[in-house]
Amino acid sequence: MTRKTPRVAVTPPPICNSATLRDELSGLFPQPYFNDTGRYLTEDELIRFAGEADALLVGRDGITDKVLSALPQLKIIAKYGVGLDNIDPDALTRHSVELGWTAGVNRRSVAELTLSFMLGLCHNVFKGGWALKQGQWVKEGGQLLQGKTVGLIGCGNIGKEVVGLLKPFECRVWIRDILDRSEFCKVTGALEKSLEEVLGGADIISLHVPSTEETRYMINATTLSRMRPTAFLINTSRGDVVDQSALKDALMKETIAGAALDVFDQEPPEDAELLACPQLMVTPHIGGNAVEAVEAMARAAFQHMKEYFSK
């Protein structure tokens, strides 16, 4: 090992709140220290918390040049979760800090939530439940998911998992991705389409893209106006992919039929008008947080640290 007892600091609340995962990590690295605030940390908080850490296990905390400059002892960042948009890769290189990360570990968890959104929107589960809680007995059963045209914008690990889950529903699946997915389409029967075709022709549009300069607010007033008035929008990817003000306007004017969001530009969201829209289903960024997914993502991060310090 690089040193007999590497210091390990851990920030993700799902790990810090799990007695099982804390015990497992303590068995690998004696006396790790855990973030007990119940939330992710700001840059300054992260610097104070990590201190003399040799390894830092993070979730959505920002890993920036400022953070790495203040932590010269740090040797490896182990990433909990599948997104890397909070980590500056150039800063890692400048400071000679290794990144331990495994893609797609929580894909089934996110894909199942996506499928539940599709079923709930189609069958008026959310809208009907909201009405009933307001004292209204509205018996509108919606429509079948079976046979609908589902457009996936982004078809990486999670998007591919969604395609598999949709197979029993005999949906037409359209894919828009920046990469060539022709081989995947040959196997699954999905069709590659342009963004314009997906926006204008799909009954359900589901977003599975990372947060980048190209994807920021890719769903906005213009793209929403190209959707069918009977179409649904689902976002289980990153909050800043959707312009929430434009989505609120579309829902209030009923230019689309409904939406479901697990992620928000600001978390927790503070737009009460958006949250009050009866055609909108929301969950608090739980897509990747099924118990099995939490444990798998944590253990993948543990393994990266174990392998690094075993060199």
Condensed to tens digits (0 to 9), the pLDDT of residues 138-183 reads 999 999 999 999 999 999 999 999 999 999 999 999 999 999 999 9
The catalytic position among 254, 267, 292, 307 is 267
From the list 7, 238, 299, 304, the catalytic residue is 238
Catalytic residue among 60, 107, 181, 285: 285
pLDDT of 87 over the 80 cut: yes
193-216: average pLDDT: 96
Q: In the β-sheet with 98-100, what is the strand arrangement from edge to edge?
A: 33-34, 8-10, 55-58, 76-79, 98-100
Say whether 285 is catalytic. Answer: yes
Give Cβ neighbours of residue 183 (< 8 Å, ≥ 6 apart): none
Q: What pLDDT shows up at residue 1?
A: 39
Residues of the chain with CATH 3.40.50.720: 8-105+290-309, 107-282
Which residues have C-beta within 8 Å of that of residue 129, sequence separation ≥ 6?
Answer: none
- CATH architecture, range 8-105+290-309: 3-Layer(aba) Sandwich (3.40)
- Report the CATH architecture of 107-282: 3-Layer(aba) Sandwich (3.40)
- pLDDT at residue 108 greater than cutoff 70: yes
> What pLDDT is stored for residue 8 in this prediction?
97
d(CA 32, CA 26): 6
Query: So what's the pLDDT on residue 83?
Result: 78
Q: What is the pLDDT of residue 85?
A: 84
What pLDDT, on the 0 to 100 scale, is given for residue 84? Answer: 85
> Any catalytic annotation for residue 267?
yes
Give pLDDT, residue 218: 97
Mean pLDDT of all residues in the chain? 95
Q: What is the pLDDT of residue 4?
A: 63
pLDDT per residue as tens digits for the range 8-19: 999 999 999 999
Q: Output the pLDDT for position 172.
A: 98
Which is more confident, 227 or 86? 227
Q: Is 90 exceeded by the pLDDT of residue 228?
A: yes
Q: Are 100 and 77 in contact (CB under 8 A)?
A: yes
Q: What is the mean pLDDT of residues 222-227?
A: 98
Mean pLDDT on 49-77? 95
